[in-house]
Amino acid sequence: MKSLLIGTIISMTTVIGALAQTSDTLGRTRYGLELSQFITGSGFASGTEIFITVIPNNKRNISLGLYFCPELKKITGITVHHEMTLGRYTSHKRIVPYAFYNMIYRITKTREVLADKSLEGDYAIYKSLEHHFGIGIRIYLVKDLYIKSALGYGVYLGSIKRPSEPDPVTGEIMGKSGFGAIAKIGIALTF
């Protein structure tokens, strides 16, 4: 998990650096911090995302964050979020609509789900990858502070609440795949 997080951070740093270099003709690159609460239709409980955002211009941004699982009370994944502003953006607008893509990758170690629900199984590793597309709005409270909400729909690959049989070699349980919604609300600060 640590090597995955480090590899992802290095990759995103490279992407962020490339975005920052191309933004010279578009204006000043800004950065932001975001905290959002969300729920998805994949069977996981509501979770929290903590993002660092790069805003190369006022039309788009990309965020890299960590997923905090409230059930396990620890960070159990990574998340990537990309937004494109819909319509014309002006600095005096208070409400700004946007389209988004959101990816969540989770690794969770928990008790295996058995056919007999009254018995607890051994610990197993569950992995889940979710991709969502949707729309949202940013509501600016002041110039660099805004709240945001979003609704979307996408696919999940693996679910902790809908597990598959354990792999006979590795013991990993990927879970079943399907489609589900995402609802997010958060607050962000740019600088």
Per residue in 46-69, pLDDT (tens digit) is 999 999 999 998 789 999 999 999
pLDDT tens digits, 168-190: 777 666 667 889 999 999 999 99
User: Which pLDDT score, from 0 to 100, does residue 160 have?
Assistant: 61
Domain ranges, residue 20: 2-190
Count up the domains in the chain and report the number: 1
User: Which pLDDT score, from 0 to 100, does residue 22 have?
Assistant: 45
Mean pLDDT within 145-166 = 83
Instruction: In whole angstroms, give the CA distance from residue 106 to residue 173.
Output: 13
User: Which pLDDT score, from 0 to 100, does residue 128 have?
Assistant: 87
Query: Which tokens belong to 67?
Result: 């997923």
Band of residue 24 on the pLDDT scale cut at 50, 70, 90: very low
pLDDT tens digits, 88-139: 777 778 999 999 999 999 988 777 666 566 667 777 777 889 999 999 999 9
Mean pLDDT within 76-90 = 90
CATH code of the domain covering residue 8: 2.40.160.20
The b/e string for 115-125 (b: 16+ C-beta within 10 A; e otherwise) is: eeeeeeeeebb
Q: How many CB atoms lie within 10 A of CB 46?
A: 12
**What is the enclosing helix (H) or strand (E) of 10?**
helix 2-22
